[in-house]
Amino acid sequence: MEREQHEGRRSVMSRRTFLRSLVVAGSAAVVAACGGNTAPEGGPAASAPGTAGGGGPVTIEWLNRYHTPVTQTLLPEIVSAFEAENPDIKVRYENPGSGEGYTEQILTRVAGGNPPDVATLFEPPVEFATRGALMELDTYMASATLATPDAFYPAPFRSCQWQGKTYGLPSSAGATAIFTNPAMLSARGISTSREGFPRTWDELKALDKEFIVIEGGEVKQAGFVPFIGSSWAYPVWSAINGGQIYDAANNQYTIDSDQNVEWVDYWLRWLDDNYGGDLEAMTIAANWASNYSDSAFYQGKAAMTFEGSWSCTDAEIPFEWEVVHLPVGPSGSTSYTAFYPNWWVVPNGSKQPEAAFRFIEFISTTGWTIWYRTIMDTPAWKQFPPTVITEKLVATIGEERAASVNAFFADYLNSAAEMWTSPVDTFASEQVSLAVEKVLRKQQSPREALAEAQQLAQAKLNEVLA
Amino acid sequence: MATTVTRKPAQARPWLSKQLRNDLRAYAFISPWLLSLVVFTGYPMLATIYFSLTDYTIVQPPQWVGLENYQRMFTADPQFWPAVWNTTFYAVISVPLSLVVALGLALLLNQNVRGVGIYRTIYYLPTMVPAVAGALLWTVILDPQNGLLNSMLESVGLPGPGWLKSAEWSKPALILMALWAGTGSAMLIFLAGLKDIPQTLYEAATIDGASSWQRLMRITLPLLTPTIFFNLIMGIIASFQVFGQILASAGSGGTVGPLNSLLMYMVLLYRSAFRSFEMGYASALALVLFVFLVLLTMLVVRSSRHWVYYEGEHPG
């Protein structure tokens, strides 16, 4: 009996001890999980910025966003080249999988005090910078040899700036153009040269009409359909009509300006005059945007289309093609190109900002040659050697034409539209996109729809600026 | 008469009663789960309440704004009510439809026919396909020009709609996708419910001359109401949280489907949080959805007294 009691008591004590231990262990685990960052494996988190901690090279962590197979072969090459040039810096990166949740990762890591040293963005850095997520790079740029402010094309560089301060570097600035099918043009006796291409929207609209085939109410063939697809590039349509979507210098949206109302109204009349006015029927009939394999252009059902330089190699267009400038609208005087950069940034709280800057300087300048040889994403660095041409482009269209196309896009970037400069760029783009769609689907007049988008975008901007 | 009082030797009473010791032992075993519930669910839920009353961009500390996010949601956000409408439309159509289809399939697969196991597997397989992969597959199937579905409709002389490219047809297209992906699991639960109905009831009814229809209406459906009830609750919750398929099929940039016709509540929430960096507003959206779902669930639970029957329970 006594033994039983004793054992019983011992067993009670044992459980209490067990429970107490469990609570302590659990609390420790929670504290550890919620605690501050620790140095990454092999990383010199404790070492001073830009110095080799413990005499060895510093390791920077790059939050990589590229996940396609071709980029997976390029990334090690670029990193090796950088490390060879900078033996005091090692770059560590991982394959991000599908890339979903990337933004969340950056923001939460910055908030948690454990940011990567470098991140690649496919969204404008200004949106992150105005929320305090990015480091200002001007101090580093002041002593840089390659990545100086005037070394980049002006508009792509301004897409990294907010109120005069720089928060990233653009490695690429994929420029855009109208792609033409010269065979379709010449079959109708129309000039196929860049110089002979329409200079105004009126001329382009008339040229479009030459190719339109409608059977049984369905559009079977088109010339050029500007109003379907690539809504991200709307700032360029505003620019070539003498307008702008956002005035960065004055923190002011100008979505419902007269030029923009005129632009959207012009598209509405284009849809009505040339295609019978039914946007949905047109959308269903074919993919009039782009030049990839599912598009009408690729399939020879559209003579022209709007796309980016990257498609010169990515789309593998199965016939000879040409690129031409965008014609200007009734109120415009200059042709501009839209561009879509890949931005490189140093998140706030980076432990190795100097080394991180050296890496993004490399990738935005000389290092981009490795990338550009394989992927035709127009460099944003003006001093990029013109002799470096995407190998696939040369193989597809020959050296001479490849050089010409290459020079065309590089030169066009000198006249790039102002875009990606707003702290609420994504939200505002969605509003403009919706407004244009409402107009083309006859739900609102251009002025009403754009005024609504203007009011929403400006209100959102004011909220962020407040 | 002398009374002998035998005094038992004083025993040290355990500090904790046996019941409490047993309880504590049980809690000790489930403590890892409890801990994670508190840390990874409880705390975020409480934090959501707090964040919903702030202006919070994740990177910068939250700024207290009181009920401003809620006020904005109901009175100033032009996307809120369209998102509520789109989601409600989707839920009202997809939930009953999914229940009917799943029940129909379960009734068919409950028959003693050859290869029934293979059929069950086939119907359940779509549930295993990740939402994004399924959505991409359906984007191809629903392509108005070259898609399989419109080709089939065309072959029988029916005009194929624009599906995801049409403002009118995009939501029905999404419902179709959800039906394909979500019916399998509900079907399996119905099947388990059907197996649970005693055969003796059917035998007795058959002897009494009940037809198949009568057996279905008087035995199967009443005894399946607890399963219907469960599937209904799960379906309602899932339908108001539809998200992955839309992101994959309508893209994350620009409008969500033609004229924002696929802008569902969760998509608005996601965009607010991770595209506009408005974590405070997104928290308010999340909380409103949570409260709405709790109320709706309570309503369904309350209504269940009138239409859910448990075996052995005598109504009234």
* Cross-chain CB nearest to B274 (options A104, A286, A348): A104
Domain CATH for A273: 3.40.190.10
Structural domain of A352 = 53-174+340-413
* Residue A348, CA distances (Å) to A112, A116, A139, B151 in order: 11, 9, 14, 53
What contacts B162, CB < 8 A, 6 or more positions away?
A280, A283, A284, B144, B168, B169
B192 and B237 in a single domain? The answer is yes
Higher pLDDT, B12 or A300: A300
Angstrom distance (rounded) from CA A403 to CA B198: 80
Q: Is residue B111 part of a domain?
A: yes
Identify each DSSP E strand in chain B by its residue range: 54-55, 63-64
A295 DSSP β-pair partners: A287
Asked if the C-beta of A106 comes within 8 angstroms of chain B's C-beta atoms, the answer is: no
What contacts B61, CB < 8 A, 6 or more positions away?
none
- pLDDT of the residue at A42: 31
Q: Is residue A19 part of a domain?
A: no
CB proximity under 8 Å: A 261-290 to B: 280, 283-286
Q: Is residue B172 part of a domain?
A: yes
Contacts of B145 in chain A (CB under 8 A): 284-286
What contacts A357, CB < 8 A, 6 or more positions away?
A137, A140, A144, A346
Asked if the C-beta of B20 comes within 8 angstroms of chain A's C-beta atoms, the answer is: no
Contact A284/B259, CB-based, under 8 Å? no
**What's the Rg (C-alpha) of chain B?**
27
To the nearest whole Å, the CA of A462 is away from the closest chain B CA by 13
* Cross-chain CB nearest to A434 (options B12, B166, B260): B260
* Mutant choice from A19, A420, A426 vs B, greatest count of B C-beta within 10 A: A426
pTM above 0.95, yes or no: no
A165 and A193 in a single domain? The answer is no
Angstrom distance (rounded) from CA A65 to CA A103: 10
pLDDT in tens, B18-65: 899 999 999 999 999 999 999 999 999 999 999 999 999 888 899 999
* Residue A287, CA distances (Å) to A222, A283, A429, B136 in order: 11, 7, 21, 17
What contacts A86, CB < 8 A, 6 or more positions away?
A355, A358, A359, A362
Q: Is residue A386 part of a domain?
A: yes
Contacts of A440 in chain B (CB under 8 A): none
B118 and B41 in a single domain? The answer is no
- Which token pair is A309? 């330089």
Contacts of B260 in chain A (CB under 8 A): 434
Residues of chain A with pLDDT under 50: 1-53
pLDDT band (50, 70, 90) for residue B249:
confident
Q: Is residue A423 part of a domain?
A: yes
- pLDDT of the residue at B14: 72
B46 and B174 in a single domain? The answer is no
pLDDT in tens, B181-194: 989 999 999 999 99
Contact A437/B275, CB-based, under 8 Å? no
Angstrom distance (rounded) from CA A152 to CA A144: 13
pLDDT in tens, A229-269: 899 999 999 999 999 999 999 999 999 999 999 999 999 99
Contacts of A340 in chain B (CB under 8 A): none
For residue B56, give the chain A residue with the closest CA.
A131
Domain CATH for B160: 1.10.3720.10
Classify strands A161-162 and A118-121 as parallel, antiparallel or unpaired: unpaired
A378 and A422 in a single domain? The answer is no
A260 and A153 in a single domain? The answer is no
pLDDT in tens, A121-140: 999 999 999 999 999 999 99
Residue B96, classed as helix, strand or coil, is helix
- pLDDT of the residue at A96: 72
B146 and B85 in a single domain? The answer is yes
Last residue of a domain, one of A413, A432, A450: A413
To the nearest whole Å, the CA of B28 is away from the closest chain A CA by 6
Q: Is residue B13 part of a domain?
A: no
Contact B258/A441, CB-based, under 8 Å? yes
What's the half-sphere exposure (Cβ side, CA atoms, 13 Å) at A369?
13
Q: Is residue A421 part of a domain?
A: yes
Structural domain of B298 = 76-307
A213 DSSP β-pair partners: A221
Contact B39/A452, CB-based, under 8 Å? no
A181 and A288 in a single domain? The answer is yes
* Cross-chain CB nearest to A438 (options B12, B59, B259): B259
- pLDDT of the residue at B6: 59
B35 and B166 in a single domain? The answer is no
Residue A379, classed as helix, strand or coil, is strand
B292 and B169 in a single domain? The answer is yes
Asked if the C-beta of A425 comes within 8 angstroms of chain B's C-beta atoms, the answer is: no
B121 and B184 in a single domain? The answer is yes
pLDDT at B316 over 50: no
Q: Is residue B5 part of a domain?
A: no
A75 and A202 in a single domain? The answer is no
Give the A:B interface size as CB pairs under 8 Å: 98
A210 and A353 in a single domain? The answer is no
For residue B163, give the chain A residue with the closest CA.
A284
Looking at the structure of chain B, the number of domains it has is: 2
Asked if the C-beta of B277 comes within 8 angstroms of chain A's C-beta atoms, the answer is: yes
Percent residues over pLDDT 70 in chain B: 93
Contacts of A26 in chain B (CB under 8 A): 31-32, 35
B55 and B166 in a single domain? The answer is no
Asked if the C-beta of A112 comes within 8 angstroms of chain B's C-beta atoms, the answer is: no
A127 and A202 in a single domain? The answer is no
Asked if the C-beta of B145 comes within 8 angstroms of chain A's C-beta atoms, the answer is: yes
B136 and B43 in a single domain? The answer is no
Q: Is residue A436 part of a domain?
A: yes
- Which token pair is B199? 């055969």
A325 and A449 in a single domain? The answer is yes
Q: Is residue A25 part of a domain?
A: no
Contacts of B280 in chain A (CB under 8 A): none
Angstrom distance (rounded) from CA B97 to CA A186: 55
B229 and B98 in a single domain? The answer is yes
A163 and A202 in a single domain? The answer is no
Give burial (CB, 10 Å; 0-12/13-18/19+) of B157: exposed
CB proximity under 8 Å: A 19-78 to B: 19, 22, 26, 29-30, 33
Asked if the C-beta of B159 comes within 8 angstroms of chain A's C-beta atoms, the answer is: no
* Cross-chain CB nearest to A133 (options B31, B35, B59): B59
Q: Is residue A44 part of a domain?
A: no
Looking at the structure of chain A, the number of domains it has is: 2
For residue A33, give the chain B residue with the closest CA.
B39
Name the phi and psi angles at A168, rounded to 5: 180, 175
To the nearest whole Å, the CA of A388 is away from the closest chain B CA by 33
Q: Is residue B102 part of a domain?
A: yes
A320 and A345 in a single domain? The answer is no
B37 and B179 in a single domain? The answer is no
As a whole number, the mean pLDDT across chain B is 91
CB of A378 within 8 A of CB of A409? Answer: yes
A452 and A403 in a single domain? The answer is no
B47 and B122 in a single domain? The answer is no
A365 and A438 in a single domain? The answer is no
Residue A181, classed as helix, strand or coil, is coil
